[in-house]
Amino acid sequence: MNIIKKARPLPTTLIKESLKIDATSPSGLRWLSRSREQFRTKRGWLIFSTRFANLSAGSLAEYGPGRKYWSVCIGGNIYRAHRIIYFLAHGIDPGDLHVDHIDNNTQNNNPLNLRLATHAENTRNSVKQRNNTSGCPGVGWHKQHGKWCARIKVNGKYAHIGLFDNITDAIAARKAKESVIFGEYSYDASQKAAKNAA
């Protein structure tokens, strides 16, 4: 059974007092200047004011093979920058939902590139896996039949689309089915939306 880890709620008040969206920052976030009253000690306030105030926030960290995300430590906990940016842009803590990067670039935290998604929707907008030989997710060579096989995963189960003599037909069938089932969260639809937003 696949258990999905629950997200830690964002410290929304602290985020609003501490950070702002800034397109000139690599992470998309910049630290704000904060008043002395917001800190328990004068020393803590001085450290923050000299090391962080008005500077770009966050650091780049790898969360799995080839998946780098900007992260920010706030209130003693680490949060991914795209979740904070979604909150600042929309006033909504994503909670247990994912924040999907529409263009599939995990370092592009432009608010127009972020949308809420369920776990299933988030996995639909993904690039092909490294061991894929066809260039298209869900399409591979079926040795036993000597044909290209197209399939799609829905609700944790694979659904067979068909066997095809040539790869072009297999890819076209997969993309057509993907468009119907995944809608705006399909890889192709997401790429088109990202280009239109740019």
pLDDT digits (tens, 9 = 90+) for 160-190: 888 989 888 888 888 888 778 777 777 666 6
pTM of full prediction above 0.85 = no
d(CA 121, CA 100): 8
pLDDT digits (tens, 9 = 90+) for 76-114: 899 999 999 999 999 999 999 999 998 888 999 999 999
Domains by residue range for the chain, with CATH: 12-117 (no CATH), 124-197 (3.30.730)
Report CA-CA distances (Å) from 127 to 16, 80, 124, 132.
34, 21, 9, 10
28, 20 contact by CB (below 8 A): no
d(CA 167, CA 56): 46
Task: Label residue 58 exposed, middle or buried (CB < 10 Å: 0-12, 13-18, 19+).
Answer: buried
185, 117 contact by CB (below 8 A): yes
